[in-house]
């Protein structure tokens, strides 16, 4: 189909409280009514990429509605991140479904915050909403983008928050970020950046997983979502884990048979999906690129136009396996054939840096000396790639060589002998750590690294836990000085073949800054503290305290 396009710009859509949100309409210039694709964005509905997409969809027989979120650009009202999008999205879907150019079948599209506008509105159950295509989106908003096992995601929240604080895009290019990230107390960081952000202060004040976050989370609302979702994500995205949580949530618990037919694709990409063969400083080859717009349209064509194009006959999961650099179809997550292996930490008590004696092996430890280091928040371990967003020139994203960090004495390195055969690790990764500190609170970090024969150390995934949140987000508990605790650190997800001759490496430390804020080690109220103290850290690996990395190994 190749239709002409008729545009209606700045159409005001009324919300339940009388606020009017601005929408641009791209309509096929043929007799309707038509199925509708709705895109709700805080990033300007008049941007070139969205105009091009709106016109392309209209050319394909869809009415496309692209709307500015409340308080942004041409829409009325006051912008406040996340919480307003559920009701506003539902009201817009109901309005769209009743327009004369609409046939009452509505799909939603977009990534990041534009995916958030989809997920938060879906549980409201508009009668017109038939499918979604959310890219790189959260599932649990306390966990990501805000707190990850209790550690504040400083880099993304400061850079993204300051860019979206006004009605239009705000420049952040001229801040001295090395200074701004170190602002204390943290609740005053918005003012240090020249802003006064109500949502920033609320994020800091709600350090625990309370009702503030529950209002917008997906994870307790799967049975209220009836629209199927085609989830799109990247292994190096801020929402790599969340993409799979959202997929499983609807596949297993969705509120309709249609919702339980959701799909997922995940490639070796950062937050901007399939824009280049290169992520970080690794080139994954031409085969890593996918026409996501074409895949999205097949999904829309099936659910909104009723085209029998075979999209549901395909495997629900399509995964790019790094190392092998190949795409593979799968049917469940984690994979049914997964062999869960414990890889234990070993050393003679000197695992500090890659020059130390730390070893990663499947054999359980005997009675071994613990490893110790000093974590000083004045000199934190710097972020060097990983699952970051959304300003790569400020906080780099993707895989980078970790050796500059691994030369630090406050980074413990546990490395396997070179592999005698290929080893595929695909699935969720967990680190179980037995550790103690000399204070009331601290952080523990873990990072899985693929070490090539030439020494290049490629980060795959990582995680962090704030010690006071070791029992979960709702019940912070300070520590007893010197007591050994068990910590389960979620390192999120990956899919990688460690090739013959490569080694596995686990890094353990207590900071990853500025991706995460620095734990001051004081145990004081979060975000209100200007005091910093150094902490003496101890990692145990004995029969009684057998720290290990749990890996999802896929048999060849």
Q: Is residue 220 part of a domain?
A: no
Domain finish residue from 284, 313, 330: 330
Q: What six digits make up the tokens of 520?
A: 């001051």
**What is the distance between the alpha carbons of residues 355 and 2, in angstroms, rounded to a whole number?**
63
% of the chain residues with pLDDT over 90: 93
492 and 530 belong to one structural domain:
yes
Number of domains in the chain: 3
Domain finish residue from 330, 354, 373: 330
For residue 194, the 8-state DSSP code is T
The confidence band for 165, taking pLDDT boundaries of 50, 70 and 90, is confident
Q: How many helices (H) and strands (E) does the chain have?
A: 11, 25
**What is the distance between the alpha carbons of residues 436 and 198, in angstroms, rounded to a whole number?**
37
292 and 316 belong to one structural domain:
yes
Catalytic residue status for 223: no
String of DSSP letters for 444-477: EEEEEEEE-TT--EEEEEEEEEEGGGTT-TT---
Q: What is the CATH number of the domain that holds 40?
A: 3.40.50.1820
% of the chain residues with pLDDT over 70: 100
Q: Is residue 530 part of a domain?
A: yes
Catalytic residue status for 416: no
Catalytic residue among 60, 75, 109, 112: 112
pLDDT, tens digit, for every residue of 444-469?
A: 999 999 999 999 999 999 999 999 99
The confidence band for 507, taking pLDDT boundaries of 50, 70 and 90, is very high
Q: What six digits make up the tokens of 555?
A: 């048999």
Domain carrying residue 254: 5-138+225-330
233 and 281 belong to one structural domain:
yes
Domain finish residue from 299, 330, 361: 330
| Beta strand extents in 378-451 (DSSP E only) | 412-415, 423-437, 443-451
Q: Is residue 215 part of a domain?
A: no
350 and 457 belong to one structural domain:
yes
507 and 536 belong to one structural domain:
yes
Q: Is residue 217 part of a domain?
A: no
Q: Name the β-bridge partners of 25.
A: 8, 65
pLDDT, tens digit, for every residue of 49-62?
A: 999 999 999 999 99
Q: Is residue 59 part of a domain?
A: yes
- Tokens 């964005």 sit at which residue? 41
Q: Is residue 211 part of a domain?
A: no
Catalytic residue among 271, 502, 540, 541: 271
365 and 493 belong to one structural domain:
yes
Catalytic residue status for 237: yes
364 and 397 belong to one structural domain:
yes
pLDDT, tens digit, for every residue of 278-330?
A: 999 999 999 999 999 999 999 999 999 999 999 999 999 999 999 999 999 99
236 and 309 belong to one structural domain:
yes
- Tokens 């202060």 sit at which residue? 201
172 and 237 belong to one structural domain:
no
**What is the distance between the alpha carbons of residues 272 and 112, in angstroms, rounded to a whole number?**
9
Q: In this predicted structure, what is the pLDDT of residue 393? A: 85
Q: What is the pTM of this model?
A: 0.97
CA dist 476 to 216, 467, 488, Å? 21, 8, 15
Query: Which range has the worst mean pLDDT, 8-17, 193-202, 348-357?
Result: 193-202
For residue 122, the 8-state DSSP code is G
503 and 450 belong to one structural domain:
yes
Query: Which range has the worst mean pLDDT, 159-168, 295-304, 325-334, 544-553?
Result: 159-168
Q: Is residue 213 part of a domain?
A: no
Catalytic residue among 237, 443, 462, 517: 237
54 and 119 belong to one structural domain:
yes
Q: What is the CATH number of the domain that holds 453?
A: 2.60.120.260
Q: Is residue 288 part of a domain?
A: yes
Q: CA nearest 539: which of 469, 461, 486?
A: 486
434 and 543 belong to one structural domain:
yes
Does residue 1 have a pLDDT over 70?
Answer: no
User: What mean pLDDT comes out for the span 90-113?
Assistant: 98
């Amino acid at each position: 189909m190749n239709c002409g396009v008729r545009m209606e710009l700045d159409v005001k859509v009324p919300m339940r409280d009388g606020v009017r949100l601005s929408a641009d309409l791209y309509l096929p210039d043929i007799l309707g009514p038509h199925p509708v694709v709705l895109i709700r964005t805080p990033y300007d509905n008049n941007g070139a990429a969205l105009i091009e997409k709106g016109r392309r969809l209209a050319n394909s027989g869809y009415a496309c509605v692209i709307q500015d979120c409340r308080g942004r650009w041409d829409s009325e009202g006051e912008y406040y991140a996340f919480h307003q999008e559920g009701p506003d999205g539902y009201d817009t879907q109901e309005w769209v479904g009743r327009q004369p150019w609409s046939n009452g079948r509505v799909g939603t599209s977009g990534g990041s915050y534009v995916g958030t506008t989809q997920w938060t509105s879906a549980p409201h159950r508009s009668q017109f909403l038939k499918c979604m295509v959310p890219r790189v989106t959260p599932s649990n908003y306390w966990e990501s983008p805000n707190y990850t096992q209790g550690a504040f995601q400083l880099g993304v929240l400061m850079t993204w928050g300051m860019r979206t604080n006004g009605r239009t895009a705000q420049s952040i290019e001229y801040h001295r970020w090395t200074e701004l990230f170190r602002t204390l107390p943290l609740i005053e960081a918005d003012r240090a950046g020249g802003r006064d952000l109500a949502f920033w202060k609320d994020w800091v004040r709600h350090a625990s997983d309370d009702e503030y976050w529950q209002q917008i989370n997906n994870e307790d609302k799967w049975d209220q979502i009836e629209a199927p979702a085609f989830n799109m994500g990247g292994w190096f995205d801020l929402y790599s884990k969340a993409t799979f949580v959202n997929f499983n949530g609807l596949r297993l618990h969705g509120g309709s048979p249609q919702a339980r037919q959701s799909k997922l694709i995940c490639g070796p990409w950062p937050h901007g999906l399939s824009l280049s063969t290169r992520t970080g400083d690794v080139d994954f080859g031409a085969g890593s690129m996918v026409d996501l717009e074409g895949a999205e349209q097949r999904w829309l064509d099936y659910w909104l136009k009723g085209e029998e194009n075979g999209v549901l006959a395909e495997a629900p999961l399509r995964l790019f396996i790094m190392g092998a650099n190949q795409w593979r179809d799968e049917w469940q997550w984690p994979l049914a054939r997964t062999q869960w292996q414990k890889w234990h930490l070993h050393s003679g008590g000197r695992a500090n840096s890659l020059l130390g004696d730390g070893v990663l092996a499947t054999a359980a430890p005997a009675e071994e000396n613990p490893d110790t280091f000093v974590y000083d928040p004045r000199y934190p371990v710097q972020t060097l790639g990983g699952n970051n967003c959304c300003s790569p020139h400020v906080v780099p994203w993707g895989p980078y060589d970790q050796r500059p960090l691994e030369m630090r004495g406050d980074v413990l390195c546990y490395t396997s002998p070179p592999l005698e055969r290929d080893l595929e690790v695909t699935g969720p990764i967990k680190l179980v750590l037995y550790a103690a500190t000399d204070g009331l609170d601290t952080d523990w970090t873990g990072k899985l690294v693929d070490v090539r024969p030439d020494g290049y150390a490629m980060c795959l995934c990582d995680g962090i836990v704030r010690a006071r949140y070791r029992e979960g987000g709702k019940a912070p508990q300070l520590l007893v000085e010197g007591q050994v605790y068990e910590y389960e650190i979620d390192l999120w997800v990956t899919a990688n073949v460690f090739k013959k001759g490569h080694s596995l490496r686990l890094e353990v430390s207590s900071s990853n800054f500025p991706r995460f804020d620095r734990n001051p080690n004081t145990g004081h109220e979060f975000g209100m503290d200007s005091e910093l103290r150094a902490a003496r850290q101890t990692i145990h690996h004995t029969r009684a305290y057998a720290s290990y990395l749990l890996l999802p190994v896929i048999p060849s």
